[in-house]
Amino acid sequence: MDENGKVTGEMPKLTNDEIKELYKKMVTIRVYDDKTMKIQRQGRVGPYISYLGQEACQVGIAASLRKDDWFFPTYRDSGALYARGMPLKDVLLYWMGDARGFANAGNNFPICIPVGTHPPHAAGAAFAAKIKGKDYVSLATFGDGATSRGDFYEAMNFAGVFNLPVIFVVQNNQWAISVPRSRQTASQTIAQKAISAGIDGVVADGNDIFSVIKAIRYAADKARSGKGATVIELLTYRLGDHSSADDQKKYREQAEVETWKKKEPVERLKKYMLSKGLWSEKFEQDITAEATQAAEKAITDAENIPSQKLDELFENIFSEMTPNLKEELEELKEAYKDRSTESTNKVEKIEGSFP
């Protein structure tokens, strides 16, 4: 599907209702993303990573996996986690610094913050599937910058050697923070790096949700049939800042951003649906209102959850806390006690200074 919504290749098998649901989820995660960025600026959320412009990757990946498949997300995959069944409240709770957001995440691993360290985890899960004779697949997503790290190559090599049912999805959004793709690799495509590991590499249009679904389905079917791993390079573009701590205007031209805006995924699917009689103003208004209500409720629910206890920060590392962790917990409790006393003394001093 081109940027005008015109189908230029073979469509994946999707009903009209499924297409409308894909669009609804893309609108929902865009509304959620926008609201999360706004409350982050108000200090109600910690550092946040937006996926603006990559909604087709997010929803397309989720729509192409089974519930029992394992998903290993990177920090730009909040939308995919929602599309995979995680409540918006739980996703938001994670960005508020609360690990309980992933307490009931199903087969979704917690978000990986270090760049590119989780492809080996996905390969390991795939190895477990092979040993157990299961037909689930594991899928790891990461950016183009992660493919410059050794972990990526090690995971591919391991997957190739053991013929594992794993999919490595590179969301090539053209920039790794302030470093353009051209400064990261001399390879013509990132997907062709799979050749060095003896596995397949596929390039797909990451702004075309139909192309994303076709690529993921192909790789998943291949993996389930015992034919091994695949690297999928989804060509997309990060329309916003790298993170809430970034200013993309300092390192890239606005003209480039405007060019990619014309190719963005939500508007592209809308044009396709309009041509097929699947989109209307009322449909857009209804799903936008529903998405707005859902996002606002998620924010309210997440903010009303009582804070974690200090003990909970240490309890989920090992089945039993090690002596050094117990020691660190006691030190943290003392630090909080001292800080609380110091704050109280400051308040008393201020109050006492008034006539």
Catalytic residues: 238, 242, 251
Residues 6+ apart with CB under 8 A from 336: 310
Q: Give me the half-sphere count of Cα atoms (radius 13 Å) on the Cβ side of residue 23.
A: 26
Using alpha carbons, select from 225, 230, 196 the residue that is nearest to residue 215: 230
**How big is the CA angle at 317 (ends 311 and 323), to the nearest 5 degrees?**
70
Q: How far apart are CA 196 and CA 188, in angstroms?
A: 14
Dihedral sign (CA 203, 207, 208, 209): positive
User: Facing residues of 200 across strands?
Assistant: 230
Instruction: Tell me the Cα Rg of the chain.
Output: 22
The region that residue 189 occupies, defined by phi over 0 for left and psi between -120 and 50 for alpha, beta otherwise, is beta
Q: How far apart are CA 146 and CA 156, in angstroms?
A: 13
Q: How far apart are CA 326 and CA 315, in angstroms?
A: 10
* Identity of residue 267: E
Residue 162 near residue 154 (C-beta atoms within 8 A): no
Residues 6+ apart with CB under 8 A from 107: 67, 68, 69, 70, 71, 136
